[in-house]
Structure 1
Amino acid sequence: MPKKRSSPLIFLSHSVADIRLVEAFETLLAKALNITSESIFCSSLEGQGATKGTNFVDAIKDKAVEAKAIVALISPAYMESPFCLAELGASWVLNTHRFPIVVPPNTFEVMQATLLGVVGVRIDQAEALSQLLEDIGEALSLPAPKAGVRARAMRDFSKAWPELEDSLGKAKRVDASTHDKALADLKTSREAWEASEQELEVAKAHIEALKNTKDATQVAEVSKAFEDTDWETELDSAISEISGLASEVGGGQVLRHMILELLGKPSHPDLNDEYIGRAIEIDVFDPDSKTWNHLSDEMKALSKAMEKVQAVFDEYEDMASELKRQGKRNKADDIRFWEQQLRL
């Protein structure tokens, strides 16, 4: 009589089109969690899937229920498979320990469209992935492996990732959220191009005006009329530093909340909204205490850059009045000033 298999600890949800990634990630799971392959149900790996002669669909459903945790490799091929999405939806309902992993070129937007409010990690971000593996081990009360074992497993996987990425099943269609993001990026690029065109026209006018005068004093006056003032240059520099933080923390909405926090104003991000996921992942925001981490590198950088902006206001007395003359917000303690400057 054949020996009955024990219930798996982990159900590895994946697309068969990503078989090389699945094999490598299953090895990482086993080594990083100090478990055997028998503890991982993976339908595409020999000896770890449905027993020969059983109904495949029923076996998948049963193992999803029996498993202590669900780990999903959400790749482009995965998102295009009706079976994978059905498997994902069912396992998400039936299991309490759920760990989604986004596989590039998919983005967090793709995952959030499928699993609203669930925070995941990208498979190519080693630090976040390592933390997720620790979280899985803690959720399942597994004895931690020796630090060196997990570190080597992570190092081997990271080293193999470029080739694994090339081997992924290719998407045949573009997800709606990816399409929307591409359109938004196109709009931003077009606006930047139009702004550059305007700057070019100003530069041409500047050059033409200089050509029409030979007097040194007049040349200086013409140049002054066309160039930014000192405060504009310094303000643009500080604002650029702040703008560069947006992509790191999860976008403009997160950046706006961070600015509100540093201004001492109420800042209560919606934890069910997709934009806050990145801030939670990099420890800028603590979802348990619902507080911002002022000691994080990103908050420190933002605070320093905002202080630079205030210093520009303090140094140039005519800056506020000039901004007002231009029809712009002119107080650094007004969130509308930051919204206008950063186009939030």
Structure 2
Amino acid sequence: MQKKSSPVQIFLSHSAADVELVNAFENFLARALNITSESIFCSSLEGQGVKKGANFVDAIKAKAIEAKAVVALLSPAYMESPFCLAELGAAWALNTHRFPIVVPPNSFEVMQATLLGVVGVKLDDQEALTQLLEDIAEALELPAATAGVRVRAMRDFFKAWPALKEGIGKAKRVDAAIHKKALTDLAASREALDATEEDLEKAKAHIKALEDIKDPKQVAAVSKAFEDSDWEMELDKALGEINEITPEVGPKVLRLMILELLGKQSYPDLGDDYMDRAIEIDVYDPDSRSWNHSSDEMKALKKGMKQVEDVFEENENIVSGLKSQGRRYKTSDIRFWEEQLGIY
């Protein structure tokens, strides 16, 4: 008796030109959702596509009808393939659960006409991709994979992502929306440049007038104002170093790590999924219930927080500047870091 095949849960819409990415993503999807590859229809993968001898178009239509969800990898090759766009249109019309994924170097601007109001995510946005998995699992009423399996699936995919990204071709045509936006940005940049040049000429005239007056105090004050470094730029740069840690540990763990380095109590919830990654990469030891200060992530955070402190020491106007903007200015207060890094 012939074994009955598993019903298709997900129709993975893609371009055949992206087969390496598709193979890696399909494996990631199956692991992270706790389903088998048989539950995913993928026309480019052996055993998961159209059977030999079958009419390709009819088979695609049948699987689109059967599937409970459509996941589309919207790469440059996908957007320039008439068949892919026709396949997407048919799947979109037949299915209520639609999950578009924008594949870099594509951007959301390119997708405006294609997504038709459906909210999509970028493939290289780990946090958004995690939420997408939860949305798919909820829509299909799938039993959740264990936290460890889900974390390993995500880790393995993003470990392979740099190499996969190199294999994705760039678009051969420029989308009209992108072209229009580029022209608008260029016009705005030119206006800003003209305004800056006008301000510069006024400043030069002001300094020249002060020098002609030979008033040492006034000249010194103006010169000092022009020599002052841009503390906001320096602060953003220092905070940027810390923000690079966030994708690795997550915002909740980062907040707890900062509390630890501030010498304040932190209370990680070991029963919550957000601590799984911190434990897995040895940032936190669940047995001793302590933070590992020798971990790469904790060292990077310590270095980043020191750079922020240096910015405060080197710029005497930074405190008054933050006060005037109604922002926190005490680096010993966790609320300063919450505000600056967006971690709550």
Partner of 1:129: 129
Q: Structure 2 vs 1, CA of residues 306 and 118 (structure 1 numbering), >3 Å: closer, same or farther?
A: farther
Displacement of 1:206 in angstroms is 2.7
Residue number in structure 2 paired with 1:42: 42
Could you tell me how far 1:3 is from its partner in structure 2? Answer: 5.1
Kept after mapping to 2: 8 A contact 1:112/1:118: no
Instruction: Give yes or no for contact 2:207–2:219 (8 Å, CA) kept in 1.
Output: no
Q: Could you list the per-position Cα deviations for residues 140-183 of structure 1 after superposition, in whole angstroms to 9, with x for gaps in the alignment?
A: 11111110100111111112212111111221101112212222
Deviations 1:45-85 (A, max 9, x none): 11110000001111111100101110001111111111011
CA distance in 2, matches of 1:12, 1:96: 15
So what's the TM-score if we normalise by structure 2? Answer: 0.63
Counting matched residue pairs gives 240
Cα gap change, 1:111 to 1:219, in 2 (>3 Å): closer
Q: Give the counterpart letter for 2:85 in structure 1.
A: L
2:16 alignment counterpart: 16
Equivalence map 1:195-234=2 (5 Å):
195-216=195-216, 219=219, 223=222
Distance in 1 between the 2:15 and 2:55 partners? 19
Q: Please tell me whether residue 62 in structure 1 is matched to residue 62 in structure 2.
A: yes
Letter paired with 1:174 = V
SS in 2 for 1:207: helix
Summarize the Cα distance change of 1:218–1:44 in structure 2 as closer, same or farther, 3 Å threshold: closer
Letter in 2 for 1:84: C
Name structure 1 gaps, 5 residues minimum.
229-236, 242-304, 312-344
Q: Deviations over 1:272-324 (max 9, x none)?
A: xxxxxxxxxxxxxxxxxxxxxxxxxxxxxxxxx9995589xxxxxxxxxxxxx
1:154 aligned partner: 154
| 66-75 or 3-12, larger mean C-alpha shift | 3-12
User: Against the structure 1 CA distance between its residues 220 and 33, is the aligned structure 2 distance closer, same or farther, given a 3 Å change threshold?
Assistant: closer
Give the 5 Å matches for 1:121-270: 121-216=121-216, 219=219, 223=222
Could you say what the CA RMSD is over the residues aligned between the two structures, in angstroms? Answer: 3.2
The answer to whether the Cα contact below 8 Å between 2:14 and 2:22 also exists between their aligned partners in 1 is: yes
Q: Distance in 1 between matches of 2:99 and 2:218?
A: 68
Letter in 2 for 1:156: D
Partner of 1:231: none
Aligned with 1:106: secondary structure?
A: coil
SS of equivalent to 1:212: helix
Opposite residue 201 of structure 1, the aligned amino acid is E
Mapped to 2, the partners of 1:104 and 1:27 lie a distance apart of 19
2:39 counterpart letter in structure 1: S
Contact 2:23 2:45 (8 Å CA) reproduced: yes
What residue is the counterpart of 1:108 in the other structure? Answer: 108
3-state SS of the aligned residue for 2:62? helix
The whole-number CA distance in structure 2 between the counterparts of 1:218 and 1:87 is: 71
The residue number in structure 2 matching 1:72 is: 72
Stretch deviating more after TM superposition (29-38 or 160-169) = 160-169
Deviations along 1:92-139, one digit per CA (max 9) or x if unpaired, are: 110111111111122222222112211111111001101101111111
Structure 1 residues 11 and 307: alpha-carbon distance in aligned structure 2, compared to 1, 3 A threshold: farther
Change (3 A) 1:215 1:99: closer
Distance change (3 Å), C-alpha of 1:217 and 1:123: closer
